[in-house]
Structures are given as structure tokens and as C-alpha cells.
Amino acid sequence: MNAIVLSIGDELVLGQTVDTNSAWLSRQLASLGCEIAAHLTVADDQRSIEDALREAATKCDFLIVTGGLGPTQDDLTRQALAAVLEQPLELHPQWLAHLEEYFRQRGRPMPATNRVQAMIPRGARMIENTSGTAPGIDADLLAAPHTCRVFCMPGVPSEMKAMFQRDLAPKVAAATAGRVILSRILHTFGLGESVVAQQLGELMDRSRNPSVGTTVSSGVVSLRLNARFDSAGRAQDELDRTEQLCLAALGDLIYGRDQQTLPQVVGQMLLDRSATLTTAESCTAGLLAKMITDVPGSSRYFHRGWITYSDDAKTDLLGVDPELIQRHGAVSEPVVLAMAIAARRKAEATFALAISGIAGPDGGTPAKPVGTVCIALAHPGDAAARTFHLPGDREMVRQRCANMALCLLRFHLLGKSPPF
Amino acid sequence: MNAIVLSIGDELVLGQTVDTNSAWLSRQLASLGCEIAAHLTVADDQRSIEDALREAATKCDFLIVTGGLGPTQDDLTRQALAAVLEQPLELHPQWLAHLEEYFRQRGRPMPATNRVQAMIPRGARMIENTSGTAPGIDADLLAAPHTCRVFCMPGVPSEMKAMFQRDLAPKVAAATAGRVILSRILHTFGLGESVVAQQLGELMDRSRNPSVGTTVSSGVVSLRLNARFDSAGRAQDELDRTEQLCLAALGDLIYGRDQQTLPQVVGQMLLDRSATLTTAESCTAGLLAKMITDVPGSSRYFHRGWITYSDDAKTDLLGVDPELIQRHGAVSEPVVLAMAIAARRKAEATFALAISGIAGPDGGTPAKPVGTVCIALAHPGDAAARTFHLPGDREMVRQRCANMALCLLRFHLLGKSPPF
């Protein structure tokens, strides 16, 4: 069983809106054991929609269409579907009554333009919309030699998601009967993608099941494990085995799985030790603290932080000796060490992370080019600092730098040296 | 002239990563006068990539491909392109030297797996990658009766964007010669999308050229103006006229255009007045300072800030009277006022913004539900605070709250009351 996800909208093809529906639908479909052959996006143009429906139907069992079911002139999905099915659009009296009731409840008369939303091609089935005015359409489209089942849903994410879960998911599950595609994601930070791939070796063979692939974002190299089997139990077992092999290959470089983030993982480690953390940030100027507090409940281990963007601020707020800054520069290991030690003492925290760096675009020198960052960790009994040269633009350097700081704390909490 | 954007990656078809490259590329292509026929996404599967290349090439003048140029086994774009072109892959000696130099500069030997990145199909042209190891490929694919020009680029957004702007944009612009789709985006913050739409009235008619549409992100309601004309001069004039009509309808609610952000706009206003800004953040915990310092050169007006996440931190770092917190709660106008006034004095800044709120998911009460935020602005001579009830989840509340704080400062700098 496979599916194609077809999204319709001028705002999508023109790039004014990023299509998030296709990704959400694909995750749902995969979890139901349905392969996704492709995503396709076309404009609010009847001819383009018709062509897309006709072609896609030949290549999939389920064609999941979103968008173009609204009441306005640029909503053309139902007309295109009717044309491809070679059936007239017919008024669905029950849905018309439902629509009129929808507007009555909101104390407004139904605009005449909304009447088209009660129409579906003859022979097709209506899908109820519990949260909006556009019902979905469920139709069988003959694409010899097979028949493709076409589901049209509104493009509004909340309406689409409710409709998929209530109506489509059971139908897809019934058709895939046992077959599953289960996924797991393992996150690493600290080494480049090709080094990670090298260490994984033949685990990345394309013919392997579960397969292992890699992607990168803000320096986080993620392994994506996909298992395709005839039962969920088997797929889970195989994912577990492959995860063990990845762990054997990469060890502590793997910090989390699936939706886990580095701030969550480090936060949990702090909680486990009843420890607290504070921050003193120069080039990241709040980003590290923001990331730490992205985690609900982070107030149990994070209470305060300092943003010392200027040299004076480092001296005024954290008592860093101006001569130290003068001698070594604000981006130096002695200065971040002083920042971390002062922040830890002032916050009475177990740990302090301090960051100073050159995020760019300006401020680089031959000795300290853009991307040079110093990170210090102060902990009970001691403090240590390291210098890194991070690639990328201003945003990338700041993101990687904050991730690196969290990663250094994580390895300290593990009681191990980072493998980089 | 039209284009199809083809994205390649298991993580995309499985919905594990949302495809943002296609939207970005489409905006660039449209601005160069190139229509976008479709977006298409397929998996890291050589057969699927070959089929997609063959079919898409028959329907467009430019086929813009991203992804699958990495060094690992699941990167199959160059192999698929070679197969469709019916040409062998050949080593490009200059690029091999470039790759070896790239690794030498980073003090590491080049992994053998990276060698494949120096290979391109015979007869194709290499596109330089100035920020990564994967060069792009520029090839002519015969798709009778016409020839489709295929550009393959890496999927990493920063590398792809740099490559497009340096290499592809001039080539596409040369081909579209004259016909243009010019866009302009106007940003507003403070009122909801439907209120903005109401104030725009018939400017939003679908048949209008330039067209005006709206989108929303983190509370920012953006107007998207698209002008399709036969000359850039005409399109610019028409965009100017439509922008004037939007300004007449919305006034100071519009804070910027195109890539301008609220932190940039406010930063420029501070620079114009030789003023400085400091921050004291509770629920946003660094996000506001991070946004202010996203702007290169922000060190000219932002020097320091405080993250006072806990009640004690508000007292210890900013001297907020514990009784005040006891009496009114940490999320209250008196407390943010005290925070802003103290931060402004301690930082010796012209302005201070202070934020305290309930970002959720926990911490809400019937009197102060999740989304309740208090924002204070301290300025020469006085200070003022306001309470807002912001919709959305933790991330959304924090984003909107930081935007709202900047927006309040902006209206103060304009010498006007906000229209909300």
C-alpha cells in the first residue's frame, strides 16, 4: 500500500507558505504502514489540479489531497475532481442543512458562496468536518489497471488533522492490515556527518532493514532508523536491535532519541542530580538560557542568568577584571572562565556555563576569525574552558555554540571526556 | 519560463523534516519572473529520483533539485542524474583538490567516502559550493521536444541558498528576460488577521494585480503583494501604489517590509536616537535579548540584560521588593514595572523592557491563565506596564510576548499610542 500527498494552493507553490500538512500526513501514514511515494504541490488552477490527480492516481493506492475546498473562486479541488471522475457535482442536502446550521449558530446568514461546499461529485462519499465549513470527499478513481482511492480534505491544518484521524486513519489502517513502517531518530552532537557515517559503517547500507540515514541541523547529526515489517512487534524489536548497534558504534555521542532535545536531556540529568545551572552569555546573548527554558519545568534547575554583551557588562555584572579582558580579549578562555566562576558563585548554582565568541558577520580577526567561540563550565571544585571554531553564519554559529555548551555539560555529567 | 522544484530525501517523504527549501526557492524564482509549476518530493531511492527527473523534465524549463549530494550511501542524486542523462560519472580533478584542501584546512584527512562528491556526469557543469563539500551540478536534459535545464544543489539550506543566489539566480534571470513576478511583504504586529483583512477591504480581491494576501507567524500578520507585469519598472510602480494603499489602510501598524524584522526596525530607531536598551526577562528567559542581538551591530545599543526566572532572582539581581512579589504575584504590572525601572538604572540605559508571564503548559490559574503576560517599558522620566492575554502554546506565547515588548517600545519611539 502506498500513498501520494497532493497539496493545492497558490501560496504553497509561490513559497509564501511552508507546507507543513504533507509532513504531518506522511508521519501519520507511515505509522499506519503506508509507504509514501511522493509529495506533490500544485497551484489553485483547475487544469493543473486535474493533471495532478490523473497522474498521481496511476502511481498510488491512496491519494491524499489537501486544500482548495473553501468557498471562494480560487478553491477548485471539487470541480477538478468531478472533471477527472467525469461526474457532475451534486448538492448534498444533509451537508447543506449542516452548513446553514453552522452559520445560524454563529448568528450570521450563510453567504451564497458557501453553498458550493455542500456539493460533491456524483458517486463520491462526503467526509464530515466537525470543525469547519468544508466537508471532505472520498472517491474511487479508476486509473487502470487499478483503482486509486482519493481523499480530499481542507487545507486548514486543524480541520485536516481532525478529519484524518477520525475518518481516514481507520480506512488506511484497514487496508494496510498489519504492515507497518516504524521510525526512530537518534540524535548526536559534536562530530561531522561524514565522520558519524564512517563510524556507522555498514549500518548505513541502503538495502538494510531497518535502514539508517543521517540528516544535520544546527550541528546536530540525527540518525533516522526506518523499519518496514509485517507486524509492529517485529518492527519494534528490529528497531531496538538496530538502535543497540548504533549505540555500540557511536556510544555517548548519541544524546537522545525522537523528539528529545539536548536541553531536555541535560535538564533531566540536572534534575536526577538535584543540581542547578546558571548562564553567562556574551555572543549568544540569551539564546542558551532561552533554549534551557524552552523545556517546561526548567524552573526547577534554572533560576537566573546574565547577558554580558559588552566588556563593561562582564566587569559590572560578573566582576571580570578589566585587565584580564584587556590582556586576553573578551573572546578568550581566561575571560569565559572568570565569567563562569563568577556566575556560579553569584547564582549559588551547581553548574555555570559561560560563552564568549565572534558570531559575525563582523568582529573577526586573523587570530580569532568569525566562528571562534570560548565556552567555560564551572562545576563543584573546578572550572574548565575550551575554544572552538564553528562554521556557518551568525545564526548558525550562535546555535552551534549554545548546543556545544550544553554538550560539554552533558559529558561532564556523564563523567566522560567528549570524543571531540 | 517555468520551473519545478524537486526535493529529495527519506526524511522529507516520511515527514520527519518539513521541507522549507522549496518555499524559499519558489520565492526566489517568482521574484525572477519564473512561474512555479509544481513542487515534488521523492525518497532517497535511485529509481524514484530517476523517474521524477524524467517526468518533471518534460513539464518545465528549469528543474531545481535539492538534496542527495552528500557523501553517504543514501545520497543518490548524482547517480540518478547520470543514469537519466545516460552519461558516466567522471571525477572532476579541480573539485577533488578543492575537497582535499577543505579538509586540510580543518586539520583532518579527507574520508574516502567524500571522493564521490567530486564526481559529476560527463558533459555536465559543476557549480561551486563556497560553504560546504557538495558541489552543485548544472546539466541539460533532453526531454523532447524541449531541453530542460537541471540544477542540482545540496539540501543543506545555507549551502543551497548561497549557491542559488551566486550561480542560479543570474542564469534564471537571463532566461526570463523582462517578464516579472515581483513581490513585496509588509509586516504588521498587534491586530489579528481578520481585523487586518477587514481594514484592507477590497485590496484583497483575488482578481487584483498586484494581489494582496495575508499570512500569520508568531502574531506577525504579513501582507504579501504580488505583481505580475511585463516589465520590472511597471511592476515596481504598481507595487509602490498598492503599498501606499495598504499604508493608508493600516498606518503605523505596518512596521517593516520584506526581510525587515521587528528587532531590526527597533534597533535602527534606537541608533537614530543614540539610545540604548536593556532587558529583564522572566518567562521569555533570554529570548527577547537573543532576538535583539540577532541583529548584527546590536552591540551599539544593547550591552547587557538580566534573566530573572525565579522570584529570588528578581529580588537578588534587580532588587525587586519580595513583598511586592508576595502581594501581586511575579506576573503582575507592579513587579514588571519594578524590574524595568531597576534594569534601566543598573544598565544606565535609555530604555528597559521587562517581561513576566505564564508561558505554560503549567502555572496557569483562573485569575491568570496560561498566556497572561505583563510587559513594562521604562523610559526617561517614567515607566508603564500593560497586561496581555496571548494565545498559543509555550513557544508561541514566548515569541508573541517578546514581539509585543518590542512593539510597545516601537510605538513609544514613534510618540504614538498603539492601536491595540
Of B10, B40, B224, the CB nearest to A16: B224
Distance in angstroms (rounded) separating the CA atoms of residues B12 and A18: 13
Confirm whether pTM is higher than 0.90. Answer: no
- In the CATH hierarchy, which top-level class contains the domain A262-414? alpha beta
pLDDT of B367 > 80? The answer is yes
Distance CA B98, CA B96 (A): 5
User: Is residue A48 predicted with pLDDT exceeding 90?
Assistant: yes
Min distance A270 CA to chain B CA atoms (Å): 17
Q: In what order do the strands lie in the sheet with A254-257?
A: A211-217, A220-229, A180-189, A254-257
Torsion sign, CA atoms A390, A395, A398, A401: negative
Q: Average pLDDT in the B54-83 region?
A: 95
Angle at A112 between CA A111 and CA A116, to 5 degrees: 115
- Smallest CA-to-CA distance from B42 within A2, A23, A38, A206 is with A38
| C-alpha pair distances (Å), A270 with each of A264, A277, A278, A302, B288 | 10, 8, 12, 10, 25
- CA–CA distances in Å: residue B420 to residues A389, B192, B253, B397, B412: 46, 10, 10, 17, 13
Tell me the average pLDDT of chain B.
93
Pairwise CB contact (< 8 Å): B17 & A23: yes
Q: Determine whether the interchain pair A305/B307 forms a contact, defined as Cβ–Cβ distance below 8 Å.
A: yes
Q: Which residue of A has its CA nearest to B212?
A: A11
Which pLDDT score, from 0 to 100, does residue A52 have? 97
A14: closest CA of chain B, how far (Å): 5
Is-contact A13 B38, C-beta < 8 A? yes
Q: What is the DSSP letter of B202?
A: G
Residues 379-398 in B contacting A (C-alpha not used; CB under 8 Å): 394-395, 398
- The answer to whether B255 and B286 have CB atoms below 8 angstroms apart is no
Question: Under CATH, which number does the domain B180-257 receive?
Answer: 3.30.70.2860
Residue type, A274: S
Residue A322 to residue A316: CA distance in whole angstroms: 10
- For chain A, what's the residue count? 420
> What pLDDT sits at residue A212?
93
Amino acid letter, residue A416? K
Confidence (pLDDT) at A123: 95
Q: How far is B13 from chain A (nearest CA, A)?
A: 6
The tens digit of pLDDT for each residue in B209-268 reads 998 877 767 788 888 898 888 888 999 999 999 999 999 999 999 999 988 999 999 999
Question: B117-139 pLDDT, tens per residue?
Answer: 999 999 999 999 987 888 999 99
What is the pLDDT, as a whole number, of residue B72?
84
Q: Classify the C-alpha dihedral A78-A82-A85-A90 as positive or negative.
A: positive
Distance of alpha carbon A199 from alpha carbon A188, whole angstroms = 12
Angle at the Cα of B160 (from B154 to B161), degrees rounded to 5? 175
* B357 pLDDT more than 80: yes
Q: What pLDDT is stored for residue A369 in this prediction? A: 92
C-alpha cell at A289: 538560557
Cβ atoms of B352 and B277 closer than 8 Å: yes
CA-based R_g, chain A, Å: 28
B2-176: which CATH topology? Molybdenum Cofactor Biosythetic Enzyme; Chain A (3.40.980)
Phi, psi for B73 (deg, rounded to 5): -65, -20
Q: Do the strands A125-127 and A136-143 form a parallel or antiparallel pair, or are they unpaired?
A: antiparallel
Q: pLDDT tens, A316-358?
A: 999 999 999 999 999 999 999 999 999 999 999 999 999 999 9
| Res. A412: pLDDT tops 90 | yes
**Cβ–Cβ gap A309/B313 under 8 Å:** no
| Cβ atoms of residues B360 and B370 within 8 Å | yes
The CA distance from A171 to the nearest CA of chain B, in Å, is: 19
The strand pairing partners of B183, in sequence order, are: B226
**CA neighbor of B420 nearest in space, from B185, B251, B224, B222:** B251
Beta strand A211-217 with A220-229 is antiparallel
Inter-chain touch B286–A309, beta carbons under 8 Å:
no
Contacts B71 to A, Cβ<8 Å = 193-194, 197
Q: Is the pLDDT of residue B382 over 90?
A: yes
Tens digit of each residue's pLDDT (9 = 90 or more) over B134-178: 899 999 999 988 999 999 999 999 899 999 999 999 899 888 876
Grouping H, G, I as helix, E, B as strand and the rest as coil, residue B407 is helix
Q: Does A364 touch chain B (CB under 8 A)?
A: no
User: Is A258 touching B (CB cutoff 8 A)?
Assistant: no
How many of the other CB atoms lie within 10 Å of CB of A84?
Answer: 21
- Residues B235/B228, Cβ–Cβ less than 8 Å: yes
A25 reaches B (C-beta below 8 A) = yes
User: By the CB < 8 Å criterion, does B30 face chain A?
Assistant: yes
Distance from CA of A355 to the nearest CA of B (A): 13
Helix (H, G, I), strand (E, B) or coil at B88: coil
Q: Are A81 and A73 in contact (CB under 8 A)?
A: no
CB-nearest to A40 from B38, B284, B308 is B38
Q: Do B290 and A284 touch (CB under 8 A)?
A: yes
* Residue B328 reports pLDDT greater than 90: yes
Per-residue pLDDT at A85 exceeds 80:
yes
* Residue showing cell 526557492: B25
Cβ <8 Å between A213 and B10: yes
- Helices A46-57 and A77-85 cross at an angle (nearest 10°) of 50
Cα(A384)–Cα(A344) distance, integer angstroms: 13
Contact between B304 and A284 using a beta-carbon 8 Å cutoff: no
Q: What is the mean pLDDT of residues B175-189?
A: 85
Provide the residue ranges of all domains of chain B, joining segments of one domain with +. 2-176, 180-257, 262-414
Sign of torsion, CA B185 B186 B191 B197?
A: negative
The predicted pLDDT at position A102 comes to 82
Beta bridge mates, A223? A186, A214
pLDDT tens column, B76-111: 999 999 999 999 999 999 999 988 988 887 777 888
Put residue A137 in one of left, alpha, beta given phi > 0 → left and psi -120 to 50 → alpha.
Answer: beta
CB < 8 Å & 24+ apart, contacts of B234-239: B235/B180, B235/B181, B235/B182, B235/B210, B236/B182, B238/B209, B238/B210, B239/B182, B239/B184, B239/B210
- Cβ(A93)–Cβ(A101) under 8 Å? no
State the pLDDT at residue A109: 78
Same fold yes or no, B180-257 and B262-414: no
Average pLDDT over residues A47-74: 92
Is residue A207 less than 8 Å (CB to CB) from chain B? no
Task: For B16-41, write each residue's pLDDT tens digit.
Answer: 889 999 999 998 998 788 999 999 99
| Residue A124, H or E segment | none
Strand A89-91 and strand A35-42: the pairing is unpaired
What is chain B's length?
A: 420
Yes or no: say if A1 and A179 are a contact pair by the CB < 8 Å rule. Answer: yes
Nearest-angstrom CA–CA distance, A36 and A29: 7
Chain B residues with beta carbon closer than 8 angstroms to that of A279: 286, 307
Q: Is the distance from CB of B390 to CB of B360 less than 8 angstroms?
A: no
Mean predicted confidence (pLDDT) in A378-386: 96
Helix, coil or strand: residue B361: coil
Contact of B107 with chain A, judged by CB distance below 8 Å, is answered with no
B309 → closest Cβ in A226, A302, A307? A302
What is the Cα Rg of chain B in Å?
26
Stretch (H or E) spanning B254: strand B254-257
ipTM: 0.76
Residue A53: pLDDT band with limits 50, 70, 90: very high
Chain A residues inside the 8 Å CB shell of B362: 296-297
d(CA B12, CA A38): 9
Span A276-289, pLDDT tens digits: 999 999 999 999 99
Predicted local distance difference test score (pLDDT) of residue A230: 87
**Residue A10: closest CA among A110, A102, A77:** A77
Give the per-residue pLDDT at B409: 98
B21 touches chain A (CB under 8 A): no
Contact yes or no for A84/A53 (Cβ under 8 A):
yes
Q: How confident is the model at residue A192 (pLDDT cuts 50, 70, 90)?
A: confident
Could you identify the residue written with the cell 521510525? A183
Cβ contact A362–B308 (<8 Å): no
Q: Do the bridges between strand B35-42 and strand B2-8 make them parallel or antiparallel, or are there none, so unpaired?
A: parallel
